[in-house]
Structure 1
Amino acid sequence: MKAPGAMHGSGNAAPSAPARRRKPRTDWSAYLYVFPATVLLLVFSIWPLFFGFWISLWKWGIGPQKFVGFANYAAIFTRDLVQDNGAGTLAPGPIGQALLNTAYYVAGSVAVSIVLAFVLAYLLFRIKTFRNTLQSLFFLPYATTIVASALVFIWIFDPQRGIANAVLKGLGLPAQTWLLDPTPAAARFISLVTGTPAAEVANPYMGPSVAMCVVILFNIWNTLGFSIMIYLSGLASLPAELLDACALDGAGERQTIRHIVLPLMKPTTLFLLMYSTVHSFKSFTPIFSLTQGGFSGGNGTQEAGGPLGTTNVLTTEIFNNFYQRQDQVGYASAVSFLLLALLITLTLVQFRLLGRRSDFD
């Protein structure tokens, strides 16, 4: 009589060793689905990145003229970042001034936009009446074409017929030239308060010009609705029982915001900070549209970034070198990679300072 384990049957047969070691069959059809997206990514993202770096190693006009290696990058740091102003002191060069203007633009746009967006989003979160209507009104500027919105701003701040000057005249204040004024806004304010001519107190490091402040105001107005919607999404995900417990324990509105809402909204703030920073660094259309062409370049051409280059940021400097200046395509590409390096560095710093892993757990 055979033991039960020795019985032979198709249903009870143990799998052989080769069958146990057999690898799962690869389903190649999955690669067919990702192949089109991979090709598009390579053609429109990866290849232009490498080709742009290749261009930056050349003196390039309509086509390649001379291989110069890293000379374009060296020119940025040795020639155009800082220059001798002829009086024995150093002053910002074209790239240095563009970096300074970019810092003004990014700092003013991002800081004010995020703080204002959180305040408005929290107010909308707390109210019930007309919430949807108000959300739509705040989001409308973000959904509107930038060029069309810029034309409205140009009309508002028109020196002759603008609403802004009409308001100033109604308050008994002198009219301003706004988008045509290269004077630092701080110097203009001191001049209005003290009566001292703005030219006597102005210096290149007093902050953004009046024209740049108008551009910053436009960027805040244009992007505020998006930030509000992101904050509202984050606020809607807060545990309702936690907010109710704070109210039952007698915590005031300020204490609830400081100790509960703000810490829980830190991931949302980090996302908005990163998005707004990158968006502001890459901003070109608002500046070009509001300044209506720009200022006269060294070769007599009309370049973006006016008046007198006070709104000339890195993106407009790239545009000027690429389109307005002869044989500077390679140099423009080098400046583009400087901008890319700045964005990567700032993103890593933001992650390091704000994006600790425990905050997302």
Structure 2
Amino acid sequence: MATATTSPALTRSPARPASGRLLAAAAPLGRLVLTTGVVLFLASVITFGLGALSKSNPAAAVLGETATAKDIATLNHQFGLDRPLVPRYLAWLGDALHGDLGRSWFTTVPVSSSVRQALPVDLSIAALALVLAVGIGTAAGIGAAVRAGGLFDRAVTVVCSVLATLPPFVIGIGLIVLLSVKARLLPAGGYVSFGSDPVQWLRFSILPALALSLEVAANIARQLRTTLVAALEENYAVGAQMRGYSRRRVLFGHVLRNAVAPTLAVIGMALPLIVGGAVMTEKLFNLPGIAQLALQSAQRGDVPVVLGTLLITAVLVLAGSLVINAAQVLLDPAARRGAASGSRA
């Protein structure tokens, strides 16, 4: 007589020790770190190359129209622009690895100092946006999966389809009109640091964070809903309900954990989306973040500041992606089994 396929979680097999899981995941984690390092190196090459190919003449811009050719040549020598491209890149990369991103050509302020002032704005807004996206998306996805085919499910599908087509700055304009101009509940722009006043930080940060999070939340909800609906139709889930397990217990105790890895992939892909939407969002909400620092520096041809902000942004995106991918490897049994079989071969 045929027997129903059961989930490993439902058969209560002995849990694998944490050390065994880490050992099995060591190979894919090592490949992730290596890949991230290579991508970061290529990003630094491309970033520096774009700066080197720019046609700006910083010495002439700094000294003004009355500068002589000798004065320009002297300042170019101080900037190191008279050196060959490869030695300049290697020197810049070596200094960057030690935390020295150079100095602004126009203000002589260290780039690292400017980045340290602007970066907390982006990190706090991005962290809040990610929390909102995960919370809203998870709640909507689970609710839609539980009521698959119902009114709530159809409403979530429609709303997510609309939000996925709207860029963050359009959502931001709508939020400003609704919550700032009409309802007068939240300020339309500005920023207060979390350390200065957490309550005011939240009031100023909630609108830009929502603008960045809603598209990501829509993607999370759609992915989670699709994965959960498919998992609830698997033999192990149906068999568990036939043996008396409640639908809620099957969903939250066994099925939901199988949907974590695909959802983490969506979150990982959302990190560049959040960073990319920061430029217009910072401008819209008058935020003194790293995107505005890069934009203003690019407009006046301040290449060291542009290079520094682009490099830091690339590091943040790649580091976030590395953390998400590592969590996927640790949570995905298939990845661990593949790594374990590869190590035994």
- Pairwise TM-score range, normalised by the shorter structure: 0.5 to 0.7
Q: Does 1:77 align with 2:99?
A: yes
| Contact 2:44–2:311, Cα closer than 8 Å, also in 1 | no
Matched residue SS, 2:99: helix
Q: Residue 19 of structure 1 corresponds to which residue in structure 2?
A: none
| Equivalent residues, number | 256
Q: Residue 28 of structure 2 corresponds to which residue in structure 1?
A: none
Question: Which residue, out of 253, 269, 272, partners 1:275?
Answer: 269
Q: CA deviation at 1:248?
A: 2.6
1:21-73 superposed Cα distances (whole Å, 9 cap, x missing partner)? xxxxxxxxxxxxxxxxxxxxxxxxxx997453224569x67257643534598
Question: Which residue, out of 340, 344, 347, partners 2:321?
Answer: 347
Q: CA deviation at 1:181?
A: 5.3
Q: Residue 258 of structure 1 corresponds to which residue in structure 2?
A: 252
Matched residue SS, 1:237: helix
Q: How does 1:4-43 map to 2 (within 5 A)?
A: none
Q: Residue 52 of structure 1 corresponds to which residue in structure 2?
A: 47
Q: CA deviation at 1:124?
A: 0.9
AA aligned to 1:213 is I
Alpha-carbon RMSD: 3.6
Q: CA 1:351–1:183 in 2, change beyond 3 Å: closer, same or farther?
A: closer
Q: Does 1:315 align with 2:310?
A: no
1:187-238 superposed Cα distances (whole Å, 9 cap, x missing partner)? 364xxxxxxxx7xxxxxxxxx4532222002222233222211222222331
Instruction: Tell me which structure has the larger Cα radius of gyration.
Output: 1
Structure 1 or 2: larger helix share? 2
Q: Residue 197 of structure 2 corresponds to which residue in structure 1?
A: 187
| Contact 1:182–1:211, Cα closer than 8 Å, also in 2 | yes
Q: CA 1:135–1:259 in 2, change beyond 3 Å: closer, same or farther?
A: same
AA aligned to 1:123 is G
Q: Residue 124 of structure 2 corresponds to which residue in structure 1?
A: 104
Q: How does 1:228-247 map to 2 (within 5 A)?
A: 228-238=221-231, 240=233, 241-247=235-241
AA aligned to 1:179 is G
Structure 2, unpaired ranges of 5+: 1-41, 60-75, 82-87, 104-111, 338-345
Q: Does 1:153 align with 2:175?
A: yes
| Contact 2:121–2:193, Cα closer than 8 Å, also in 1 | no
Q: CA 1:235–1:133 in 2, change beyond 3 Å: closer, same or farther?
A: same
Q: Does 1:129 align with 2:150?
A: yes
Q: Does 1:219 align with 2:212?
A: yes
Q: Residue 115 of structure 2 corresponds to which residue in structure 1?
A: 95
Q: Residue 310 of structure 2 corresponds to which residue in structure 1?
A: 336
Q: Residue 160 of structure 2 corresponds to which residue in structure 1?
A: 138
Matched residue SS, 2:150: coil
For residues 181 and 49 of structure 1, the distance between their equivalents in structure 2, rounded to whole angstroms, comes to 31
Q: CA 1:257–1:116 in 2, change beyond 3 Å: closer, same or farther?
A: farther
AA aligned to 2:161 is F
| Contact 2:219–2:266, Cα closer than 8 Å, also in 1 | no
Taking only the aligned residue pairs, the percentage that are identical comes to: 8
For residues 168 and 162 of structure 2, the distance between their equivalents in structure 1, rounded to whole angstroms, comes to 12
AA aligned to 1:284 is A
Q: CA 1:333–1:80 in 2, change beyond 3 Å: closer, same or farther?
A: closer
For residues 157 and 185 of structure 1, the distance between their equivalents in structure 2, rounded to whole angstroms, comes to 25
1:303-347 superposed Cα distances (whole Å, 9 cap, x missing partner)? xx3xxx2xx1x3332212212xx3412430232122212322332
| Contact 1:52–1:333, Cα closer than 8 Å, also in 2 | yes
For residues 311 and 191 of structure 2, the distance between their equivalents in structure 1, rounded to whole angstroms, comes to 31
Q: CA deviation at 1:135?
A: 0.8
Q: How does 1:113-124 map to 2 (within 5 A)?
A: 113-124=133-144
Q: CA 1:116–1:256 in 2, change beyond 3 Å: closer, same or farther?
A: farther
For residues 196 and 161 of structure 2, the distance between their equivalents in structure 1, rounded to whole angstroms, comes to 31
1:229-259 superposed Cα distances (whole Å, 9 cap, x missing partner)? 1222222331513222232333345532333
Structure 1, unpaired ranges of 5+: 1-46, 82-91, 166-175, 190-197, 199-207, 295-304
Q: CA 1:102–1:126 in 2, change beyond 3 Å: closer, same or farther?
A: same
| Contact 1:57–1:330, Cα closer than 8 Å, also in 2 | no
Matched residue SS, 1:77: coil
Structure number with greater CO (CA < 8 Å, separation at least 6) is 2
Structure 1 or 2: larger strand share? 1
| Contact 2:129–2:213, Cα closer than 8 Å, also in 1 | yes
Q: How does 1:160-199 map to 2 (within 5 A)?
A: 161-165=181-185, 177-180=187-190, 182=192, 184=194, 187=197, 189=199
For residues 56 and 260 of structure 2, the distance between their equivalents in structure 1, rounded to whole angstroms, comes to 48
For residues 282 and 94 of structure 2, the distance between their equivalents in structure 1, rounded to whole angstroms, comes to 25
| Contact 2:228–2:256, Cα closer than 8 Å, also in 1 | no
AA aligned to 1:134 is V
User: What TM-score do you get using the length of structure 2 for normalisation?
Assistant: 0.62
Matched residue SS, 1:355: helix
1:276-324 superposed Cα distances (whole Å, 9 cap, x missing partner)? 2232233234414532xx3xxxxxxxxxx3xxx2xx1x3332212212x
| Contact 1:57–1:72, Cα closer than 8 Å, also in 2 | no
AA aligned to 2:271 is T
Matched residue SS, 2:231: coil
